[in-house]
Structure 1
Amino acid sequence: MGAKNAVIAGDYQGKGIGLVLGSPNIIMGMNPNNNILLDKFSIDTYDVITEDIRKSAASGVIRGAVGTALLGPVGLLAGLSAKNKGVYTLAVRFKDGKNSLMEVDEKIYKAIVKMCF
């Protein structure tokens, strides 16, 4: 399952996130001048919410059981280690005090990291 490329909680919830001329933006509507550029001038801090925090132990056990049933011991290891590769959840605090939780794909994540450097 791919990333939503959207703000999933907090300020700007439900707004899409995309690359505009190679720069990551929160898409605020039809007028590109209203977009919020995700760079070091607008973002105060951001944290990557890791898979360890997001995934529950129960879901790992279920994936492991299904993997074992389908592929034996190798399936158990694959099921327990499976995760959403290339999907990043970011907790972003903006310089204006607003906060957003975002889910983005690897391409947008790398663009945000580059713009915040």
Structure 2
Amino acid sequence: MSIFGAKNKVTAGDYKDASVTMVNGQVTLAISLGNMIILNKKMVASHKVESETKGTHTVSVTFTDGKKSLLELDDKMCKALLEQLF
């Protein structure tokens, strides 16, 4: 965890170091310039909140293609992601 709060990044697994951003109200992974994955029910097979401490949430995500990522999110991004995947 950064002293500046959650990174809103992929910290492990597939897409490591990709940024987690909000685009047009949707939580996305910014893989590279112009290459994004919208984190929605169509793309994400399952997810689990692994830990929560002081505004930082660690969420594991399994994609429908079998890839897996561990995300570090702040409160706002975590809430948006969980609402999107509900």
Same fold at TM > 0.5: yes
**Map of 2:12 onto structure 1:** 9
Give the TM-score normalised by structure 1. 0.67
Deviation at 1:8, TM superposition (A): 0.3
One-letter identity of the residue aligned with 1:28: I
One-letter identity of the residue aligned with 1:38: L
Instruction: Indicate the structure (1 or 2) with the bigger Cα radius of gyration.
Output: 1
What is the count of residue pairs matched by the alignment? Answer: 83
**Map of 1:25 onto structure 2:** 28
Runs (5+) with no aligned partner, structure 1: 52-83
One-letter identity of the residue aligned with 1:86: G
Cα RMSD (Å): 1.1
Deviation at 1:10, TM superposition (A): 0.3
**Map of 2:49 onto structure 1:** 48
One-letter identity of the residue aligned with 2:55: G
Give the TM-score normalised by structure 2. 0.90
Structure with a larger share of its residues in helix: 1
Identity %: 40
Cα shift readout 1:86-116 (whole Å, capped 9, x = no counterpart):
1100111111100001101111111111111
One-letter identity of the residue aligned with 2:14: D
- Whole-Å separation in 2 of the counterparts to 1:50 and 1:8: 14
- Whole-Å separation in 1 of the counterparts to 2:32 and 2:17: 12
The list of structure 1 runs, each at least 4 consecutive aligned residues, that deviate by more than 2 angstroms after superposition, is: none
Structure with a larger share of its residues in strand: 2
